[in-house]
Amino acid sequence: MTSLVNLPNDDTNCGWYAALPNPPEPRRLQGEQSADYAVIGAGFAGLSAARRLAEHYPQARILLVDAQRIAYGASGRNSGFVIDLPHKFALEHPDPRHKQRLLGLNRSAIDQLQGLIERHGIECQWSHAGKYQGAVGERGLAYLDHFRGLLDNLGEPYRVVERDELNGVLGTNHYSRAIFTPGCYLMQPAALVRGLGASLPENVEVLEESPISGLERDSAGNWLLQGNNGVIRTPKLLLGTSIFTREFGYLRNRLLPVMTFASWTRPLSDEEMSRTGIQADWGLTPADHAGTTVRMTQDRRLIIRNTYKHVPRYGSSVSETVRRKIQQDHRKAFLARYPQLADVAFTHTWGGTYAISRNFTNFFGEISEGVYASACDNGVGAAWGTISGRLLADLAVGAGSQQLDDIQSVTGMPSLNPPEPFLGLGVRTRIRWAAWNSRSEL
Ligand SMILES: Cc1cc2nc3c(=O)[nH]c(=O)nc-3n(C[C@H](O)[C@H](O)[C@H](O)COP(=O)(O)OP(=O)(O)OC[C@H]3O[C@@H](n4cnc5c(N)ncnc54)[C@H](O)[C@@H]3O)c2cc1C
């Protein structure tokens, strides 16, 4: 049996999760279970895969299992942008059809999420707010010009917003210019993910706090998933385990575990809102990707996200000292933008782990006989996880479609990483170099 070494171990301080009421007691994996399909990982990818399997086979027994509570992993602790435009690196792809396929897939994910939110009344601050891509100094402005060229090439709509107009929305004159693109949606990720988990079809059984620590195949060709107090036997296994896919022995030397971090404030008062002139419900990502993301939620909390760490042992790679230093860096970024809010403290600082690859290629497909995986979304997994999970289920049941062809044509094999210690050294140096170069945008 493949024994997993590292299990998810996210910190207990995620603001999004803390803002929700306590969930009901979880159901855990107990005893010997047989399933027609098992899905490991209840983030965007796994939830979407399990739902789609149930749509195909309403009579099948589908088990969706997660090591933690639903919404405790990266899907519930991100910045809550559901993006339509692909990542900067994907936007630079030379083939326009590749980019149009990515756009189409992301937009289909947004439509699916919107449909589910409306059908099941999921309260998650879902908002068609669009997104600002903001520049502070010369470096950011150069990135913005480049971004503008990419949008022109694609024929995508956008609006250039200058400092004064930005100030009227963001309540800060920190940014010299931004490009506003209308297709992005914002949400409260923990609320959305919990809502998706609670509205799954009846034949999906959710098992939480049930880490799978071993995987093997029996003589009949079934997969055996070993838990602490039980085992699942299934002919078909879908992995929505993002970076933890490595722990099952797959893509081991191809995925890179990266953590990024966020801090937020309590909801601002009416007086604080008018003191800054800030409006509620917007999101800004940095023109230079190593810069700072800022969000204002519908319930008026300000969020700062920056800092990347290479985390070979996931959450436990980051010590308390490092976490405190990150919080101080967040504070610096906050005060640079909102000196008038120096009396407003952060209430939560948290991190989350996701997968990137050196060639920015996403993996999607059958990874071993009867095992299907969507892994490596390069840090923009809300839309990607949703669509790739759904299409992974289609692939597993043999339901072909134009979208399945599209996702297969835009995904591939993440490139091989050099061995340690060169890998860690290289990634750390690159992250530090990017942070230093981008210091004006932080
Ligand atoms: C601070 C931060 C901000 C971000 N901002 C954004 C954003 O604004 N927009 C965006 O699109 N993306 C953002 N991301 C990235 C995004 O969160 C991820 O890309 C996305 O959540 C990946 O979804 P997933 O379903 O593939 O994997 P995950 O959400 O990582 O889900 C994997 C699940 O597998 C479970 N699991 C793993 N191993 C096991 C095991 N052995 N047994 C059982 N269960 C297991 C985990 O507990 C986890 O719940 C951000 C990430 C962070 C950390």
Among protein residues, the one with the nearest Cα to ligand 1's atom 15 is: 379
Separation of CA 41 and ligand 1 centre (Å)? 9
Residue 422's pLDDT is what?
77
- Give yes or no: residues 244 and 280 share one domain: no
- Give yes or no: residues 286 and 161 share one domain: yes
Structural domain contains residue 98: no
CATH number at residue 160: 3.30.9.10
Structural domain contains residue 123: no
Per residue in 80-96, pLDDT (tens digit) is: 999 999 877 788 888 99
Is the minimum distance from the CB of 66 to ligand 1 under 6 angstroms? yes
| Contacts for 21 with CB less than 8 Å, ≥ 6 apart | none
Question: Among 251, 285, 286, 260, which Cα is nearest to 362's?
Answer: 251
Name the burial class of residue 420, with classes exposed (0-12), middle (13-18) and buried (19+) by CB atoms within 10 angstroms of its CB: exposed
Helical (H) or strand (E) element with 109: helix 96-120
CB 154 within 8 A of CB 91: yes
Q: What stretches of 246-380 show up as alpha helix (H) in DSSP? A: 270-276, 320-337
- Give yes or no: residues 174 and 301 share one domain: yes
- Give yes or no: residues 336 and 232 share one domain: no
CB 145 within 8 A of CB 179: no
Among protein residues, the one with the nearest Cα to ligand 1's atom 53 is: 352
- Give yes or no: residues 244 and 354 share one domain: no
Is the minimum distance from the CB of 211 to ligand 1 under 6 angstroms? yes
Separation of CA 328 and ligand 1 centre (Å)? 25
Structural domain contains residue 432: yes
The pairing of strands 185-186 and 81-82 is: antiparallel
Q: What is the mean pLDDT of the chain?
A: 95
Least confident of 79-93, 173-187, 299-313: 79-93
Structural domain contains residue 109: no
CATH number at residue 217: 3.50.50.60
Structural domain contains residue 180: yes
- Give yes or no: residues 66 and 135 share one domain: no
- Number of residues that make up the chain: 442
- Give yes or no: residues 196 and 151 share one domain: no
Separation of CA 205 and ligand 1 centre (Å)? 20
Tokens 């996210």 — which residue?
10
Ligand 1 atom at minimum distance from 381 CA: 19
Distance CA 86, CA 103 (A): 6
The DSSP bridge partners found for residue 204 are 62
CB 122 within 8 A of CB 192: yes
Separation of CA 43 and ligand 1 centre (Å)? 6
- Give yes or no: residues 329 and 270 share one domain: yes
Is the minimum distance from the CB of 74 to ligand 1 under 6 angstroms? yes
Distance CA 377, CA 235 (A): 26
Q: How confident is the model at residue 1 (pLDDT cuts 50, 70, 90)?
A: low
Q: Which tokens is 298 given?
A: 């519908």
Is the minimum distance from the CB of 68 to ligand 1 under 6 angstroms? yes
Residue 45's pLDDT is what?
98
Tokens 């700062």 — which residue?
304
Among protein residues, the one with the nearest Cα to ligand 1's atom 35 is: 41
Most confident of 74-88, 107-121, 428-442: 107-121
Distance CA 400, CA 89 (A): 28
SS3 185: strand
Report the predicted TM-score, pTM, of the whole model to 2 decimal places.
Answer: 0.97
- Give yes or no: residues 348 and 429 share one domain: yes
pLDDT above 80 for 435? no
Ligand 1 atom at minimum distance from 45 CA: 25
pLDDT above 80 for 431? no
Domain that holds residue 47: 2-77+191-252+362-415
Residue 5's pLDDT is what?
73
Separation of CA 75 and ligand 1 centre (Å)? 4
- Give yes or no: residues 338 and 382 share one domain: no
Q: How confident is the model at residue 4 (pLDDT cuts 50, 70, 90)?
A: low
Separation of CA 354 and ligand 1 centre (Å)? 6
Structural domain contains residue 84: no
Is the minimum distance from the CB of 11 to ligand 1 under 6 angstroms? no
Structural domain contains residue 113: no
The dihedrals phi and psi of 79, each to the nearest 5 degrees, come to -90, -5
Name the burial class of residue 176, with classes exposed (0-12), middle (13-18) and buried (19+) by CB atoms within 10 angstroms of its CB: middle
From 377, 392, 407, mutation site for ligand 1 pocket: most ligand atoms within 8 A of C-beta: 377
Per residue in 380-417, pLDDT (tens digit) is: 899 999 999 999 999 999 999 999 999 999 999 999 98
- Give yes or no: residues 285 and 368 share one domain: no
Per residue in 196-243, pLDDT (tens digit) is: 999 999 999 999 999 999 999 999 999 999 999 999 999 999 999 999
Among protein residues, the one with the nearest Cα to ligand 1's atom 38 is: 244
From 11, 75, 386, mutation site for ligand 1 pocket: most ligand atoms within 8 A of C-beta: 75
Structural domain contains residue 62: yes
Is the minimum distance from the CB of 76 to ligand 1 under 6 angstroms? no
Cα dist. 238→8, 11, 52 in Å? 18, 26, 12
DSSP string spanning 8-35?
Answer: ----S--HHHHTSPPPPPPP---EEEE-
Distance CA 100, CA 332 (A): 38
Domain count, the chain: 2
Separation of CA 402 and ligand 1 centre (Å)? 27
Ligand 1 atom at minimum distance from 374 CA: 26
The two most distant CA atoms of the chain are separated, in Å, by 69
- Give yes or no: residues 302 and 344 share one domain: yes
